[in-house]
Amino acid sequence: MTDFHAELETRLTRYAAIDSQSDADSAASPSTEIQLNILRLLEAELQEIGASDVQLTAYGTVLATIPGTAPGPTVGFLAHVDTAPQFNASGVKPRVIRGYNGGAISFPDNPALTLSPDHNPYLASKVGHDIITASGLTLLGADDKAGVAILMTAARHLLANPEIKHPTLRLAFTPDEEIGRGVDPRLPHDLAADFAYTFDGGAVGEIEYESFSADGATVQIKGVSIHPGLAKGKLVNAIPLAAKIIAALPQQTMLPELTDDRDGFIHATDMTGGSSEMTLKFILRDFEREGLAEKGAILQAVCAAVQASEPRAEITCTINPQYRNMRYWLEHDMTPVTLARDAARSLGLEPVSVPIRGGTDGSRLTEMGVPCPNLFTGMQNIHGPLEWISVQDMAVATQLCLTLVQQASKPTA
């Protein structure tokens, strides 16, 4: 079995150090110019390793072909280059802890921060592994630059070893996945794959074909503004109205910090404005369409009740679809899931399929006609300063990719 450890470590630490945070408030595509820095780098690297049809599209996705050496379906592979807006992702300083000793990991730029196996059981199983983290002030960005590193490593290996039999492969490195805009409407046609996979998952063995269904909601509150010294009977302060809406939402059964497994949630992500006008943003999540619609109805009912309590205010609640559970389509044709599971078992792994409490580019791509389950990379504690990944886990994911494409070229019985 080929040792990809050094290449994966080099690629991830190089990619993670490039700022590429997306911005949900931007209408541009990509949403931030800085994402083009890593996209152009990948474009150049793909050309350098000999990939075909390399292009950076007008919508900010890098596409490339690994020509087939055997018959079979055209298989797509995707990873996203953007990092999450929820936490500082500027100036990431990746560092490698070689031969992890099983103890608590400290962070040079944040001495108060500790990554402990006591609270991270998966970390406890990685003694002897090489662990990559950031320095304590930023997230790492293994979500999903680990996926980028895995696919680039696998692509280079296949191009350097044409004797390995595999069908035609299509690569796509997307921007803006973290803000739900990674799959442009033109991508399914441009990808031209029979089915695809995102490398954007967690623990080794995870092969995911079920995700949240997701909507976003924006609540606008317009009060009545007047000088506070002259406000009696006239002022309508938007801030207390915003607080009433937040407080009126179901707490124990609807907050993400109090839910798990198959529970959905209503999550307030932003509150901006002042006394005259406030904007609240929410994400709504559920595994079923009915549950998602119910959560939207709850939020709208709360807004209507607060509006009724203060008719001089103006409160609107707008709900926009984001993505839907990929299971709705994949359960009708499990071919890509079965292929990935068979490849995992051939590597001695027992595949685990658990619902993703989130979404991937694969959620949208599946909905748009290209079946696209999600495969593991090893990333853990994503979207925060305790994010980490094992280089050895990434190597297993790379082997899975290579095994999968070789099995895809074999005729079915």
Q: How far apart are CA 370 and CA 318, in angstroms?
A: 29
Give the position of tokens 């040792």.
Answer: 3
217 membership: H or E segment, kind and range: strand 213-222
**Strands 114-115, 105-106: pairing kind:** antiparallel
| Selection from 297, 370, 289 nearest residue 322 by Cα | 289
Region of 148 on the Ramachandran plot (φ > 0 left; ψ -120 to 50 alpha; else beta): alpha
CB 280, CB 268: distance < 8 Å: yes
Query: Which residues in 263-387 belong to E strands, given as ranges?
Result: 265-273, 277-286, 314-323, 374-376
CB 390, CB 378: distance < 8 Å: yes
Q: Which of 7, 177, 178, 208 is an active site residue?
A: 177
- Spatial neighbors of 403 by CB under 8 A, at least 6 apart, are 343, 346, 347
CB 282, CB 217: distance < 8 Å: yes
Cα–Cα separations (whole angstroms), residue 155 to 64, 67, 144, 403 = 10, 10, 17, 13
The yes-or-no answer on residue 82 being catalytic is yes
Q: How far apart are CA 401 and CA 405, in angstroms?
A: 6
Write the burial class of residue 211 (CB in 10 Å: 0-12 exposed, 13-18 middle, 19+ buried): buried
The yes-or-no answer on residue 177 being catalytic is yes
Cα–Cα separations (whole angstroms), residue 392 to 59, 156, 268, 377 = 34, 18, 36, 10
Q: Which of 7, 9, 43, 82 is an active site residue?
A: 82
Angle at CA 298, nearest 5°, toward 293 and 304? 125
Write the burial class of residue 180 (CB in 10 Å: 0-12 exposed, 13-18 middle, 19+ buried): buried
What is the separation of C-alpha 235 from the centre of its chain, rounded to a whole number of angstroms? 43
What is the separation of C-alpha 352 from the centre of its chain, rounded to a whole number of angstroms? 19
Give catalytic residues, as residue numbers.
Answer: 82, 177
